[in-house]
Amino acid sequence: MQQTNSYIVSSPDAGKGLDKAFEIAQIALCTATSERPCGVCRACKKVRQRIHPDLSVIEREEGQGGKPKQNISVDQIREIVHEAGIVPIEGQKKVYIIKEAQLMNTAAQSAALKLLEEPPEWVVMVLVTDNLDALLPTVRSRCNRINLNSENSAFSEQTEKRCESYMKALAMGDRSEVFCAAMDLKLKTLAETEEFLQYIREYANDILCYRRKDPGLGRELLFKITLIADRCTAYIKANVNPNHIAGLLAVLPFEDRIIEDDI
């Protein structure tokens, strides 16, 4: 399962969530060959002005009296599912931002699922929400998750330090180093374990998207890290002991394939 092109941006602040979504759109549509988004190419400018033809923002339609309707309708989603099948106009990608994704009812989410399960290669989906729980688990599991807290830094210093030492060991490529680093994480609660997993997923994503320098991990391993983070997060949701997660973090990087079993 390819997971890199669909995102859920969850933030209590809708404005910040939307800013992040446009940043993802800019990265996807920017035509620079090195660091993206460059912020200066035509595509970047068009995204900023919200006039890029390969960028669509889906939001509640206007109802009677000019007030927005209560939900994002299934018809709106069906329309983008259909439209997404058509190749991009200007760039290599097509970006769909769904504002207030929590207002998609079950039918609309099921329709969106079709696009999340088998997206055309050029499709980038970004669901912005302030209520992650309102999204179907099947929708959540198919997206990379970006959680923005109302504070600027979403992660504790300890989490950042843990990530740093784990990645350092991974970059060395030595099994015993990785084992020691995983044990040294000393993950105790489910919450801090989940935070760590989220952090390493974002860390790897940032490098894959050229937002951060690679300390020698390589793209294959980085992609594997995102899968490991997803798999371990699924275990956490099933209340697996954090000690067991540390064990997985020690061995999974050396497995050829990260199997995504249903838990």
Which residues make up the interface to Zn ion (CB under 5 A)? Answer: 30, 32, 37-38, 41, 44
- State the alpha helices, DSSP H only, in the chain: 14-29, 42-48, 74-84, 106-117, 137-141, 157-172, 175-184, 190-208, 219-237, 242-251
What's the closest the beta carbon of residue 40 comes to Zn ion, in angstroms?
A: 6
Largest CA distance in the chain: 66
Which CB sits closer to Zn ion, 37 or 253? 37
Nearest to Zn ion of 34, 150 (CB atom): 34
| CB 18, min distance to Zn ion, A | 19
CB 123 within 8 A of CB 84: yes
Nearest to 237 by CA among 206, 173, 191: 191
In the bound state with Zn ion, the residue whose beta carbon lies nearer, of 18 and 44, is: 44
Taking CA atoms, 145 is separated from 21, 34, 215, in Å, by: 12, 25, 23
- Give me the least distance between CB of 121 and Zn ion, in Å please: 21
Order of strands, sheet of 123-129, starting from the edge strand that comes earlier in the sequence: 55-58, 94-98, 123-129, 6-10, 144-147
Is 1 or 89 the residue whose CB approaches Zn ion more closely? 89
Q: Is residue 162 within 8 Å of residue 133, measured between CB atoms?
A: no
Among residues 38 and 258, whose Cβ is nearest to Zn ion? 38
- Residue (30 or 170) nearer to Zn ion, CB: 30
Closest distance of CB 110 from Zn ion, Å: 35
Q: How far is the CB of 48 from Zn ion (least distance, A)?
A: 10
Long-range contacts of 231-235 (CB under 8 A, 24+ apart): 231/258, 231/259, 231/260, 232/193, 232/197, 233/194, 233/197, 233/198, 233/201, 234/141, 234/263, 235/263
- Amino acid identity of residue 239, one-letter, is N
Closest CB 105 distance from Zn ion, rounded Å: 36
Nearest distance, CB of residue 93 and Zn ion, angstroms: 12
C-beta closer to Zn ion: residue 88 or 242: 88
